[in-house]
Amino acid sequence: MELPKSRAVVPRLEFLDSAGSTNDELRDAATGHHAADWPHGSVIVTDDQTRGRGRLGRTWLAPTGKTLAISVLLRPQLPGGAPFPSSGYGWIPLIAGAAMTEAVRRAVDAAAAAAPVEPDPDDRSGGVEVELKWPNDVLVSGFKVCGILSELLPMGDRSGLGDAAVVVGAGLNLTLDEHDLPTLTSTSLLLATGVRPDADAVLADYLDTFLSLMRSFAEHGADAAESGVAERVSALCGTLGSEVRVELPGDGELLGTAERLDGDGRLVVRDANGELQSVAAGDVTHLRY
């Protein structure tokens, strides 16, 4: 894959014919002897990932050529090279999710323009809806088209590269058909739109949006409110306002209404007793009644 549009928006992009895990490949590159050759915004991509990982150590497998595994290296710093505050790292997966949600929305809109169909008067679905499910899934009409996994890489002070780096991995379903889907709650851009997506255009859109949001976030001191990141993420997040079940670490469970994101990007849920609880990590299910 040549990916000229995507190469134009990042400082370095390597396409691998096959990889076990693009996150592992980028982590090794970013922490190895030639780490300085991998600046902020570097990317590794493949359409054949054989040992992909999801959240909680789950495996992520897909047929060759029908998905993209995308890993982005972030070396976040504040203006003037000041250290990035620890409070800012929690927003990075949400920023990546927002960027992918916007890129997928634009791909869906482009597909609709390329192959317009007459509306079905009996259809009450409201059409194709693209939204972010907290913290890191992108849904199309309620079905997962992309998942995101972020990993923090402690760097120390080696080579003057800063205190820490982050690898943000995303798995985007491009042209999976019904027989390829890993779960009953998955979909692909092709299935959602009926149009084969332009992989390079979607990837370039995601990368450009993600790095632009990160730049604005850093320029505002990693303050989600001041940078507009909190408002942008919240507007895209279909979890907010939904009745949810959150499977918590340690086999706990929380049922309630997702009301908002707090200042650290945690999900604030009002439980059955009317108490507000902030959730930093967990698997969220949108409940439909």
Residue 161 has pLDDT above 90, yes or no: no
Going by C-beta distance under 8 Å and a sequence separation of 6 or more, which residues neighbour residue 189? 104, 107, 108, 111, 140, 145, 172, 173, 174, 175, 195, 197, 202
Residue 114: band (very low, low, confident or very high) from pLDDT cuts 50, 70, 90? confident
Mean pLDDT, residues 35-39: 95
Quote the CA–CA distance of 258 and 279 in Å, as a whole number.
10
Residues 193-212 have a mean pLDDT of: 97
Q: What is the pLDDT of residue 57?
A: 53
pLDDT-wise least confident of 69-73, 113-117, 136-140: 113-117
So where are the chain's domains? 4-238, 239-289
Enumerate the β-bridge partners of residue 188: none
Mean pLDDT of 232-240: 98
pLDDT, tens digit (0-9, with 9 covering 90-100), for 263-281: 999 999 999 999 999 999 8
Is the whole-model pTM more than 0.85?
Answer: yes
Average pLDDT for residues 171-189, to the nearest whole number?
Answer: 93
Q: Is pLDDT above 90 for 94?
A: yes
- 8 A C-beta contact, residue 59 and residue 35: no
261 neighbors 237 (Cβ within 8 angstroms): yes
Residue 112, token pair as written in the block: 């609709």
Beta bridge partners of 271: 256
Q: Which CATH number fits domain 4-238: 3.30.360.10, 2.170.120.20, 3.40.50.300, 3.30.930.10?
A: 3.30.930.10
The pLDDT value recorded for residue 124 is 42
pLDDT of residue 117: 57
pLDDT band at 251 (very low <50, low <70, confident <90, very high): confident
Closest CA to 10 of 31, 38, 29: 38
Exposure pattern of 22-51 as b/e (b: 16+ CB <10 Å)?
Answer: bbbbbbebbbeeebeebebbbbbbbbebee
Length of the chain: 289
Please report which residue ranges of 137-245 form alpha helices under DSSP H.
189-193, 199-219, 224-227, 229-236
> Can you name the CATH fold of 239-289?
SH3 type barrels. (2.30.30)
pLDDT at 252 over 80: yes
pLDDT at 140 over 50: yes
pLDDT of residue 75: 96
Banded model confidence at residue 158, pLDDT cuts 50, 70, 90: very low
